[in-house]
Structure formats: structure tokens, C-alpha cells
Structure 1
């Protein structure tokens, strides 16, 4: 997707949301996030395969070959519909002049999955695949600070369920077993699928380290119930690496600053506002940084 094409779509989304944000109240956040679903997110076709069907064909496939199939499924719209009910997460801070600012980001309620609402599989993937999906569908990946706030504000907290660290960690068999574990955990909570849920996986994150560590993937999170993450920010793995514990949480390019729609990529570069959404401070040209990963 060309940058001009995406820019026009982002501008259209912001203009379309402007009337909803004339009164900067938190009460509008959920409705605004729901409305921020842009037209370039494809609709799932009725004939699209269920998650279990997709994974059955990938039982003996992993790494970039599995990623390629997953990317095709996601970009064609084979994603459970509840994932597009974006949920608001508010981050509050101050400008250099002391003014209090609230930045509301809109995030997927769960980690990226393929399939339908009844039969879906959460899909770990390498950085290139995650970056392509995010970029082409009008999203960014979260920062570590966003991941922390997503966990803190989530309505559903699933305690981590690590599996044995064997040579099978990257296999489809492992990710399916972990997916079944998460399904069982969620079923016990009796919460709607659209509720913001966190703690079940590590996040692939957007960080300045991707510039100093080319060819690596940055992962962070997997919070325990005490709010402390198992995984500190790490770039130890190559960019193609993905095991069962990794997940892709998408963050809309449309965010809200005191209720006003703004491009999240611009917020992340702003000297004042970047500190609210990133513990690293500004991340220069985050959209291009992400796009360069594939």
C-alpha cells in the first residue's frame, strides 16, 4: 500500500470522526473507537474457512511459510468479527507546560486470530507478517507503555500459562494447545468476546530498538495477575521468530487527544504527547519504521 493511499484513508477516517469528538468526554471514547474501524478492513466472507480448518492445513508448517498463509487469511478478512470491536484505553500525562492531556487509543480486544467468532485460533507470527498486517489495515503495534495500560485497564485478566520450553515451541501443535488453554480460561470468565482481555500472551511491540537492532523482533509483556510482566522488552530473537506465547495486538492509527481525533503516528513523534504513549519518548516516523520490517 502506498503512503499516499494510506494517508488519504487516515485523513478520511479522522474527518469522519471529528463530529463525534466535538465534546472531549471519556463517555464518547468507546463509541469513537467503534467508529474508528476504517473501510480498508475487509469483511469476512461466509465461505472463509474456520480457524481449525486453516490450522489443520498448517499442522506441519511453521515460521515464514505459516506466516505467509496467515497473512493471506487475515488480509482477505478471515478474522473473527469481535476483534474489530475496538476498545478504548486512556493514557494520561502532561505537556511540558503542565497541561493535563488524555490520549485514548483504540485496540483490538484480543490478540489477532483467524477464523470466525465460534471457531478461531490466535496466531503468533514473525515481525514481518505482523508489520504487514498492521500497515495494510491501518494499525500500529503497541509500545511497551501501551501494553502496560492495556493490561491495567482490561476487564478480563487471564493468568499466563507457560508451556515447556522445548524445540516444539514454534510448532503449530504448540500454538494450538495453548489456544485451547486460553479458550478454556476465557470460558470460565463468562465474559463477552468483545471485552478487553490481557495477560494471555507476550506482545510484539514497536520500539526505537528496531532501529539499533535490525533483523530482530521486539517482544514484551505476558503480565501476571500482580501486574508485573514475565517478559521484559527483548530483541534477542530474529525477526522471523514466533512461538506459541507471542501475540499481535493491533492499535488503530486513529487516536483521541482530549476527545479530538488525531493520527497516532503523529502523537508518537510529538515531544510532549509521545511521553504519554511511549516510555521511550518520541518514536520517529513509527509508521515507516513498521513498514520497513517487511
Structure 2
């Protein structure tokens, strides 16, 4: 990673840890998930997620900000959240009240540039204004998600990305760990999920749910995921 990118990551982390994020991101939105167990009784859970991707700024002026896994991990750890699973990303898209149309930019080394970050964010803003998405509504389809997955157990030092759903509900980006943990580009978004969830009427840690071979199926299509409280797969 070049020096400019390292400085950018430090600046992003510093701004977020100082609380420089829009107020509407602090109002979490419920998302319901289920898993059909043998015998016909479904396992159900409600999680609570940020309505938008993590951003820097205020309600009236903010920038959805990509970041690498190291920065995302530091934010998750400090804020007491967790990153989503692939199944959670799908559920968020299905239950969103606002669906963006993905807007890929030309591929190349410029994908990691601050200019591309700003250009893509302006495109999202224009689309949001055209569709009159209310601030704080659950929205998706405009970024790929950084996710947790068991693949990181076998490919340590990588970042896992998934999503960018089309209107059909199919993601442009299948689950991938091709990039190193220090990589981030304009298409990535960080969606924070509260670390406590309601499952079968009880409040329980998402970490505990994901570690349980039975309960994990409600939040993960991979089964149990060994993820540590400070993120990173155990």
C-alpha cells in the first residue's frame, strides 16, 4: 500500500473514532432472518443494522467511505458491532425500502483513488435524489459489502467481499477473497450490524449465535462461523 493510501486509512479511522458520522446512521433498523428446521418449525432472528453504509460527515453532507479490512476491524471493535455475513447481506437487500441500481466505474488502478470514491458517491447521491429515498430508510444495492466468512480461516490476510445486487436480487459480486486485507476500492461499503440479536425471543450475542452449529444457520448459509469479538476469524 502506498503512503497516500496509508494516510487516507489513518484519516478515515481518526474521523470515525472522533464520532464524525451522520446522525441517521445511529438509528438502527431491524432485519428479520429465518431458517427452516426439520419438523417444520422455523428458527427466527431479528438483527439491527445501520440503514446505510458507513459514512463520514453530517446528515446534510456526508461521504460513504470505503476502507480496508484493518480499518473496518478497528471501527467494528471500537463501536461494538460486527460485519455482516453473506446471508445477512441478502436479507438486507430483500428487506430494503430503497434499492439502488449498481453503477460500476471503469476498472483499473484508479479504482482505489480518492477521486473514484468521491465520483461514485456523487453518482449514488444523484440516484438517491431522483428516487426520493428518505434519509434513514434501509437502502442497498449501491455497494459491495465487506463480510465475514469461513473462507478467511483458510485464506488469512484477505478481505472478503460480496454483493452489489441487481434489481433481480442477484449480486454482481460473488463471495470473494481475492484481495489482500489492505485493499479497498470505490465499490466497497461497510455495513455495521449490532452485536446483539433477538433470536427466539431472547437477546443473544451474534458471536455466540455464529459459533453454534444449529443457531448459526439463521444468520449464515455457511453454518457456524468462527469469528472473534474483535472480528477476524478465530
For normalisation by structure 2, the TM-score amounts to: 0.95
Specify the alignment match of 1:125 in structure 2.
67
Question: Equivalents in 2 of 1:213, 1:291: separation in Å?
Answer: 10
| Alpha-carbon contact 1:64-1:240 (below 8 Å) kept | no
| Alpha-carbon contact 2:76-2:230 (below 8 Å) kept | no
- The 3 A distance-change label for structure 1 pair 149 and 62 is farther
| Alpha-carbon contact 1:126-1:242 (below 8 Å) kept | yes
Question: Equivalents in 2 of 1:288, 1:123: separation in Å?
Answer: 21
Specify the alignment match of 1:5 in structure 2.
none
Question: Equivalents in 2 of 1:236, 1:205: separation in Å?
Answer: 13
> Unmatched 5+ residue regions in structure 2?
none
Corresponding residue SS for 1:266: helix
Count of aligned residue pairs for this structure pair: 233
Question: Equivalents in 2 of 1:88, 1:229: separation in Å?
Answer: 22
Question: Equivalents in 1 of 2:76, 2:190: separation in Å?
Answer: 9
For normalisation by structure 1, the TM-score amounts to: 0.76
Question: Equivalents in 2 of 1:86, 1:62: separation in Å?
Answer: 33
Structure with higher strand content: 2
Specify the alignment match of 1:256 in structure 2.
198
Shift in Å at residue 96 of structure 1? 5.4
Specify the alignment match of 1:282 in structure 2.
224
Shift in Å at residue 68 of structure 1? 1.0
Which protein is bigger by CA-based radius of gyration? 1
> Unmatched 5+ residue regions in structure 1?
1-59
The list of structure 1 runs, each at least 4 consecutive aligned residues, that deviate by more than 3 angstroms after superposition, is 94-99
Query: Is 1:88 matched with 2:33?
Result: no
Corresponding residue SS for 1:142: coil
Shift in Å at residue 99 of structure 1? 3.2
